[in-house]
Amino acid sequence: MENVNLIDTFSEFKELKNIDRPTMMSVLEDVFRNMLAKRYGSADNFDIIVNIDKGDFEIWRNRVVVNDDELSDPITQIPLSEAKKIDEDYEVGEDVSDEVKFLDFGRRAILSLRQNLTARILDLEKNNIYMKYKDRIGEIVTGEVYQVWKREILILDDDGNELILPKSEQIPSDHFRKGDSIRAVVIKVEMRNNTPFIILSRTSPVFLERLFELEVPEIFDGLITIKKIVRVPGERAKVAVESYDERIDPVGACVGMKGSRIHGIVRELRNENIDVINYTTNNQLFIQRALSPARITTIKLMEEEDTRKAEIFLKPNEVSLAIGKGGLNIKLASQLTGYEIDVYREPGDEDEEDVNLEEFSDEIEQWIIDELKSIGCDTARSVLNLSINDLIKRTDLEEEQIREVVDILKAEFE
Q: Each residue of 361-406: pLDDT tens digit? A: 888 988 898 888 888 788 888 888 888 888 888 888 889 999 999 9
Tell me what pLDDT residue 389 has.
Answer: 86
Rounded to 5 degrees, what are φ and ψ at 154? -95, 125
Provide the β-strand partners of residue 152: 166
DSSP conformation class of 382:
H
pLDDT at 244 over 50: yes
pTM, entire model: 0.67
Tell me what pLDDT residue 262 has.
Answer: 94
User: What does the CA dihedral 72, 76, 78, 83 come to, rounded to 10 degrees?
Assistant: -170
Who contacts 350 (Cβ-Cβ below 8 Å, separation ≥6)? Answer: 316
Helix (H) or strand (E) holding 77: strand 77-79
Tell me what pLDDT residue 36 has.
Answer: 82
Question: How many angstroms separate the CA atoms of 283 and 275, rounded?
Answer: 18
Tell me what pLDDT residue 329 has.
Answer: 92
Question: How many angstroms separate the CA atoms of 44 and 36, rounded?
Answer: 9
Question: How many angstroms separate the CA atoms of 360 and 404, rounded?
Answer: 12
Q: Which of 38-42, 369-373, 391-395, 408-412 has the lowest mean pLDDT?
A: 38-42
pLDDT at 284 over 60: yes
Q: Each residue of 136-169: pLDDT tens digit? A: 999 999 999 999 999 999 999 998 899 999 999 9
Residue 115 banded pLDDT, cuts 50, 70, 90: confident
Provide the β-strand partners of residue 50: 57
SS3 257: helix
- Across residues 278-298, what is the average pLDDT? 91
Q: Each residue of 194-225: pLDDT tens digit? A: 899 999 999 999 999 999 999 999 999 999 99
Beta strand spans in 86-214 (E): 95-99, 140-148, 152-156, 162-166, 181-192, 195-201
Who contacts 170 (Cβ-Cβ below 8 Å, separation ≥6)? Answer: 153, 202, 203
Residue 2 banded pLDDT, cuts 50, 70, 90: very low
Tell me what pLDDT residue 348 has.
Answer: 57
